[in-house]
Copies of this chain bind each other. A is one copy, B any other.
Amino acid sequence: MGTDVAVSPKGLSAHIRLTRAGFSINADLEVEAGSTAALLGPNGAGKSSVLGAIAGFLELPAGSEISVTLAERSLEDTTARRWTPPEDRNIGVVFQEHLLFGHMTVLDNVAFGPRSTGSRTAEARRQAASWIELLGVSELSDRQPHELSGGQAQKIAIARALAASPDALLLDEPLAALDVAARSEVRRVLREQLDSFRGPRLLITHDPSDAFLLADTTFVIENGRITQRGTPDEIRRSPATPYVAALAGTNLYAGLAAHGSVLLADHDHTFTITDTSMTGSVLLTVHPTAVSLHPDCPSGSQRNVWNTTVELVEPLGDIVRITLGGPVPMAVDVTPAAVTSLGLRPSGPVWAAVKATEISATPA
């Protein structure tokens, strides 16, 4: 599943196997120097845990197997009983909850890294000030962290990590607390910084736009396992799991094919496909624009027609995304005009139709 990524000498590679409190993680990651990998997954998939293992923060349960290599230096290897403390890993981390030091000004927070690695106070402050300026929040320099809004604090946390000039950069949902305006602004800063940063970068996120916009490679993690890896384009084009498909804005179903019919694995429904020769486990992809909606049972050439209800109506720019309920949950894109003429509203009844030719099937 996914392509194997060879890691360059200067890159980061991590192999993590651990079980804690019934939740187990089994993930291998490689990030090349000068490239950004996204670790994309739903809440509770284990993203923060992977980051903790790489940075050396995690209390390892007995039986864990961890190996972390950065720039040809083995930072940790449980089989060889090697362990490097976090401060010697030179891995910069931006945390999900910013974790600024409450007793220092913003400036001293950012200067903390340079000072810790040997710069003198004045020099460290100078560096810090220039990082803060780069993020466009110089007016916050003298504030205490508790005087910042959530978004302001997150920007400072990013500046702080970058100011320590780390060998690798780990970012745990650095944009989650930011508003839309600040987010695209910080995203731009981040991209500039990530681009000019020569080491490997690992960006943890549950937001596919972050992954797709900022990353060269994406690892999808679900329930502690890497379920797909590839470039954002590869992942968008051929999603391997329903979660990825939903992220990529398409619909994906697993099923059992026989004689041109596919019985869905997770839903009580059968789709008709064109390839009658296919047999066994298959993955079906249905693009949201390929589905048509009708007030009554349509009498056309479509081979797949079913009655359902509208769950959600979401305007997305110039189109409107309709989410259909049972028997097959499906995202459908229609025009605003269609919403009005069909009277689409949450919980309202509707007929859905899709041509067999519009359903692409691949062996699973």
Q: How far is the CA of A241 from the CA of B226 in the complex (A)?
A: 44
A174 CB to nearest B CB, Å: 14
Residues from chain B with Cβ under 8 Å of A317 in the complex: 249, 316-317, 319
The number of chain A residues with a CB under 8 A from chain B is: 44
Tell me whether A181 and B316 are in contact (CB under 8 A): no
* A334 in contact (CB, < 8 A): no
What 1/0 mask marks residues of chain A from 198 to 212 whose CB sits below 8 Å from any chain B CB?
000000001111001
Q: Which of A86-94, A307-315, A353-361 contacts B (4 or more CB under 8 A)?
A: A307-315
Given contacts A147-B21, A323-B184, whether A43 and B179 have CB atoms under 8 Å apart is yes
| CB-CB contacts below 8 Å: A152-205 with B | 152, 176-182, 184, 187-188, 191-192
Given contacts A43-B151, A316-B317, A317-B249, whether A311 and B176 have CB atoms under 8 Å apart is no
A338 CB to nearest B CB, Å: 17
What 1/0 mask marks residues of chain A from 42 to 61 whose CB sits below 8 Å from any chain B CB?
11100010000000000000
Q: How far is the CA of A340 from the CA of B320 in the complex (A)?
A: 27
* A8 in contact (CB, < 8 A): no
A186 CB to nearest B CB, Å: 10
* A349 in contact (CB, < 8 A): no
A207 CB to nearest B CB, Å: 6
Q: How far is the CA of A149 from the CA of B149 in the complex (A)?
A: 22
The 6 closest A-B pairs by CB, nearest first: A43-B151, A179-B206, A44-B149, A43-B149, A42-B179, A43-B179
